[in-house]
C-alpha cells in the first residue's frame, strides 16, 4: 500500500507505478490536452488512456505541456491500451507503433491489451507483439485489461513475459475478488477503473457515515478503501477541485472494520455502461468470462 502521493508500487518487471491515476475515458481529444495538463499540475503522476478512447494525441500534448512547465517525464507514468480491432501479431505491432506516434513520447510506461480475444491463439499472438515492443524499448511494461482468471491463466502458460497489471472495473459493488486474488498470487498488480461506480457508491449510507467521521467526502472514502486494498484506482473527473480532492487520501486511514463495511456493499452488477462487464463482452464479440 502506498503511504503518500509520491510513493510508488513495485511491478514484477522491476519498474514502479504510482498508487493512484487519472482516467481519461470519455474525455474527447480536444479536451484531453487541458484535462491531462491540469491533472498533472494538481499532483497526478499516472495518466490512463487507450486507443479506443480516441484521445491519445490530446493526452500526449497535455503531458508535453506539463513537461514544459517543469514536470520530469520520468515522474509521469503513461498507460495506453490496444483496441479490440487490433488483435493479432501484425495488427498489434502496427497499433502499438501508432499509439506511440500519437502520444509523441520517447516511451510508453505501460501498454495493455484492452480486452482478451475469444480465440486464445489470437490473444497469445497479440501478447507476443507486446513482448517485442517491450524488448524494443518503446514500451517499458506490458499488461492486460478486463482479463478474467481463465484468461490470465492461459496467458501465463503461453507467454515469455508475465503481465505486470490487470486493469478491471472494481468498486464496492463489483469486487472481482477471484480475479484480483489470482493476480495477487501471481504478482500481477490490479488497477481499478470506475472505482466510484459512476457515483453510485457515493450515495451509500455506510460510506456517507464514514465520510462524516473523518471529515472527508464519500469519494475520498471509496478511493482510500481501494488504496488500502492495494488497488490502483483511476478515477476520472473534469472538475479541477475534484481532481485535487481525489488525491487527498493520505492523512487518514480506515479501520479494518470500516474496510469490511465498505466491502459488504457489494452488489452483483457492474456500473460502466458500454465499457467492461460481461454484457459488454457480448456486445463487442469478446468473451471476457473465460474461466478455466
Separation CA 201–CA 218 (nearest Å): 8
Cβ–Cβ under 8 Å, residues 79 and 46: yes
The per-residue DSSP string of 256-290 comes to: HHHHHHHHTT--S----TTSSHHHHHHHHT-----
114 in a labelled binding site: yes
Whether 184 sits among the annotated catalytic residues: the reply is no
- Is residue 86 within 8 A of residue 123, CB to CB? The reply is no
Task: Please write down the HEC assignment for all residues of 115-141.
Answer: CCCCCHHHHHHHHHHHHHHHHHCCEEE
**Which listed residue (53, 100, 184, 214) is catalytic?**
53
Pairing of the two strands 108-113 and 139-145: parallel
User: Phi and psi at residue 77, in whole multiples of 5°?
Assistant: -115, 115
All three cell numbers of 218: 464519500
Cβ within 8 Å of residue 239, ≥6 positions away: none
- Cross-strand pairs, 191: 167, 232
**Residue ranges of the binding site for substrate:** 114
Name the residues annotated as catalytic. Answer: 53
Amino acid at each position: 500500500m502506498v503511504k503518500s502521493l509520491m510513493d510508488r508500487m513495485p511491478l514484477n518487471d522491476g519498474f514502479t507505478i504510482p498508487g493512484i491515476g487519472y482516467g481519461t475515458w470519455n474525455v474527447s481529444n480536444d479536451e484531453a490536452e487541458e484535462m491531462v495538463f491540469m491533472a498533472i499540475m494538481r499532483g497526478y503522476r499516472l495518466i490512463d488512456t487507450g486507443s479506443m478512447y480516441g484521445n491519445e494525441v490530446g493526452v500526449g500534448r497535455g503531458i508535453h505541456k506539463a513537461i514544459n512547465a517543469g514536470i520530469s517525464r520520468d515522474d509521469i507514468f503513461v498507460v495506453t491500451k490496444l483496441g479490440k480491432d487490433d488483435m493479432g501479431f501484425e495488427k498489434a505491432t502496427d497499433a502499438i507503433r501508432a499509439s506511440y506516434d500519437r502520444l509523441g513520447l520517447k516511451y510508453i510506461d505501460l501498454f495493455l491489451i484492452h480486452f482478451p480475444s475469444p480465440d486464445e491463439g489470437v490473444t497469445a499472438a497479440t501478447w507476443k507483439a507486446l513482448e517485442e515492443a517491450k524488448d524494443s524499448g518503446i514500451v517499458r511494461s506490458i499488461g492486460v485489461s478486463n482479463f478474467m482468471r481463465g484468461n490470465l491463466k492461459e496467458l501465463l502458460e503461453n507467454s515469455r513475459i508475465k503481465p505486470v497489471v490487470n486493469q478491471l472495473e472494481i468498486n464496492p459493488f463489483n469486487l472481482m475478488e477471484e480475479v484480483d486474488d489470482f493476480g495477487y498470487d501471481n504478482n500481477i498488480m490490479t488497477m481499478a477503473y470506475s472505482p466510484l461506480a459512476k457515483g453510485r457508491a457515493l450515495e451509500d449510507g455506510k460510506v456517507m457515515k464514514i465520510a462524516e467521521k473523518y471529515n472527508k467526502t464519500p469519494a475520498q472514502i471509496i478511493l482510500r478503501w481501494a488504496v488500502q486494498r492495494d488497488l490502483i484506482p483511476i478515477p476520472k473527473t473534469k472538475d479541477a477541485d475534484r481532481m485535487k480532492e481525489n488525491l487527498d487520501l493520505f492523512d487518514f486511514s480506515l479501520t479494518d472494520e470500516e474496510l469490511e463495511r465498505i466491502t459488504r456493499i457489494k452488489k452483483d452488477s457492474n456500473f460502466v455502461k458500454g465499457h467492461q462487464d460481461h454484457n459488454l463482452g457480448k456486445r463487442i464479440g469478446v468473451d471476457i468470462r473465460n474461466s478455466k
